[in-house]
Structure 1
Amino acid sequence: MSEAPVLHLIVCAAPPAQRVGELAELLAADGWRVCLIATPIAASWLDVDALAAQTGHQVRADWRRPGDPEPHPPADAAAVVPATFNTLNKWAAGASDTLALGILNELLGTGLPIHVFPRVNAALAAHPVYQPNLRRLRDAGVVVHDGDVLRAPDEMTPSRWAVVVDALRAARPDRQRARGT
């Protein structure tokens, strides 16, 4: 029996981040090994010890030191949930000033599936750089989902997380083919 595929779940600082443990649980039940990478602000909102115990992997927000081992296994796919205006625009510009952005920039060059679930308010979505930057990411192969998926009057409901899980299930690579074994 092969190991479950690895999902690098990048978490940005928007309200759904506070319930990312629920998403990680659903993804694990759906057959993923979940490794969380948080932006620095998002990490300050999370119970990183509880999430590490839940996933079996430390929650990363900081760069590792040269010579330190890589704490996460290689990704088979990645998702940014929730994705903020700041992170999306910096990523499209190629900035790597956080671990999350550095990982996203590296993954962009691998051809692995990357799904993005934005959580951006209407005023920021109307900013003149936002739509062109989403197009740039799409042109690079990123699947950018409808921004309303993570918006609900009562914040996140199980059905909202189900949309994310379903999209990632459809994107889950065959581990044997992805690893060339």
Structure 2
Amino acid sequence: MTTSRVLYLFGSAAPPVFDVAKVIEDAQGRGFDVCLGLTPTASRWLAPQLGELERLTGHPVRSEYKMPGEPDVWPKADVIAVAPATFNTINEWALGLTHDFVVGVVAEGIGKQIPTVTMPCVNAAYVQHRAFERNVAELRAMGVQVLYGEGGFVPNQPGQGKPKEYPWHLVLNAAEEAGLST
């Protein structure tokens, strides 16, 4: 299949990230050229698979900023999907704390008006922290489509996670719709 739309797929260190190869294949089947970015911890978790993920996408897997003056190794994004997005990623992003590559790119993506969708993966204890709901609302106010609550990710109790039930299809459906509007 010929791909024409570029999807930046960014994952944080939550158990569903271990299924990212299947998600990449699904996205490619939908016509996306996928570039995979990971938070530093997610990159460490997937270290044994990084070579295979690079072969699958045809692009380097990135988790660090490039050096000044180095060329960009990825094509420009048509749409960005951030999933799974941890408590930390959501909060850093909403606050503009961009020390990590993934958060830096998505924060800048807001200003570049790149359609962006995210789906958290947090437990019910984390969402009791007042900053979380406030930062979800902040991201939504900045134009990010946050798939959280009804019709998106619904938190489980701590220790009760079901990573194989993470609704990846919702992220890709939303990315597909957002990518069509570009």
TM-score relative to the length of structure 1: 0.89
Distance in 2, Cα, partners of 1:115 & 1:162: 12
Q: Contact 1:43–1:61 (CA<8 Å) still a contact in 2?
A: yes
Q: Contact 2:10–2:36 (CA<8 Å) still a contact in 1?
A: yes
One-letter identity of the residue aligned with 1:163? L
Secondary structure of 2:113's counterpart equals: coil
What is the aligned partner in structure 2 of residue 118 from structure 1? 120
What's the CA shift string for 1:62-106, capped at 9, x where partnerless? 111112110111100101010000011011111111111110111
What is the aligned partner in structure 1 of residue 72 from structure 2? 70
What is the aligned partner in structure 1 of residue 153 from structure 2? 149
What is the aligned partner in structure 1 of residue 60 from structure 2? 58
- The partner residue of 1:170 within 168, 177, 181 is 177
Structure 2 unaligned regions, length at least 5: none
TM-score relative to the length of structure 2: 0.88
Structure 1 unaligned regions, length at least 5: none
Distance in 1, Cα, partners of 2:176 & 2:76: 18
Q: From the superposition, tell whether residues 128 and 150 of structure 1 become closer, same or farther in structure 2 (CA, over 3 Å).
A: closer
Relative to structure 2, which stretch is displaced further, 160-169 or 135-144? 160-169
Distance in 2, Cα, partners of 1:56 & 1:172: 20
Q: Identity over aligned residues, as a percent?
A: 36
What's the CA shift string for 1:1-53, capped at 9, x where partnerless? x8511011111000001111110110000011100110000001111111000
Q: Contact 1:6–1:35 (CA<8 Å) still a contact in 2?
A: yes
Secondary structure of 2:83's counterpart equals: strand
